[in-house]
């Protein structure tokens, strides 16, 4: 059985920053991301940027007053 030093769940801002930091120190890193289409985390792709949230909601048929 192979042992991995570090397992990071999620390739969001925190996950990829930590993965890079550990790899630069020479540590072995495994990153697990459930989405095969979106990386960088929900915040940067959907929710935290108001313009992206408006685009998503408009695509879902939400009307804005």
**Is 29 in a helix, a strand, or coil?**
strand
- For 13-48, write each residue's pLDDT tens digit: 788 889 999 999 999 999 998 877 666 666 665 666
3-state helix, strand, coil in the chain (%, to 5): 45, 15, 40
Domain boundaries, the chain: 6-59
DSSP symbol at 21: H
Q: Residue 18's pLDDT is what?
A: 93
**Half-sphere CA count of 6, side-chain side, radius 13 A:** 17
Please tell me which residue, 57 or 25, carries the higher pLDDT value: 25
Per the listing, tokens 């695509």 go with 59
CA R_g for the chain: 16
Highest-pLDDT range among 39-43, 47-51, 59-63: 59-63
């Amino acid at each position: 059985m192979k042992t991995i030093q570090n397992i990071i769940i999620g390739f969001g801002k925190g996950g990829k920053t930590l993965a890079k930091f550990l790899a630069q120190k020479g540590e072995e890193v495994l990153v697990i991301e459930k989405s095969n289409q979106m990386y960088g985390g929900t915040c940067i792709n959907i929710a935290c940027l108001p313009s992206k949230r408006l685009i998503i909601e408009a695509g879902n048929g939400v009307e804005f007053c």
